[in-house]
Amino acid sequence: MEKAASTFSKKSFWIKQIHRWHWMSSALCLIGMILFVVTGITLNHASEINSRTHIEIKQAKLPEALLSMVVEGNGGALPQNVSDWLERTLSVSLSKQVAEWSEDEIYFSMPRPGGDAWLSIQRSDGAVQYETTDRGLIAWMNDLHKGRHTGLVWRVFLDVFSLACLVFCMTGLFLLKVHADKRRLTWKVVGVGLAVPMMLSVFAHL
């Protein structure tokens, strides 16, 4: 009798823990899952959604004192004085950007979620052109969904979010098992949820 009571007590304890993990993981995932569902739809219909692209171009010319640093440079990081002047003049941060040196120019490619940017410096005369492209809110959200052109912080968030979703799903599966005896359709519905995507994947190219 005592053994049965002890077993029941342990089972009750773990069921309570699973319930706690389930609601906590669902709370952590709630907003993120809504955003990923919405962007899943917008990605699926990307060609049908019209978005307005905004392009901004800024031009400048390096002072003579800095031009020599560009002319004489042979690759590697941009001289700090030149980088500081560009940041002040064009409001662009180059601290984490990699310069691509060629015979004619120094080029920075700066893609970002929902847009793009690039900066070029002509080594012959110091002419600078900085162009930014903003493709709008939906493009920004779509790129976040894919983790496209994102940094370390967002990638870490995606890993944590994915782990929380996994906990949410696995604890949900356990709770389905716990309550399956009272709901006869439980495993049939789970089976449909498994079978339908597998069947449709065969025709995904159509």
Taking the chain (206 residues) in runs of 10, the rounded mean pLDDT of each run is: 60 83 90 92 87 92 91 83 93 88 93 95 94 94 92 92 93 86 85 88 77
Identify the pLDDT of residue 2. Answer: 52
48 CB contacts (<8 Å, ≥6 apart)?
Answer: none
At 165 the pLDDT is 93
Name the maximum alpha-carbon separation found in the chain: 93
**b/e per residue, 72-104, with b = 16+ CB within 10 A?**
ebeeeebeeebbebbeeebebebeebebebeee
Rounded-to-integer distance, Cα 69 and Cα 81, Å: 9
Q: Which residues contact 40 (CB under 8 A, 6 or more apart)?
A: 145
List phi, psi (to 5°) of 184: -65, -25
Whole-number pLDDT of residue 180: 83
Residue 152 CA, distance from chain mean position: 10
Which residues, listed in sequence order, are joined to residue 132 by a DSSP beta bridge?
A: 56, 117
Residue 74: C-alpha distances to residues 21, 55, 85, 123, 180 (Å):
57, 31, 19, 11, 70
At residue 132, the 3 state secondary structure works out as strand
C-alpha to C-alpha distance for 120 and 110, rounded to whole angstroms:
11
Q: Look at residue 4 in the predicted model and tell me its pLDDT.
A: 55
For the chain, what percentages of helix, strand and coil (3-state, to nearest 5) are there?
60, 15, 25
Query: If you search the block for the tokens 């049965």, which residue do you land on?
Result: 4
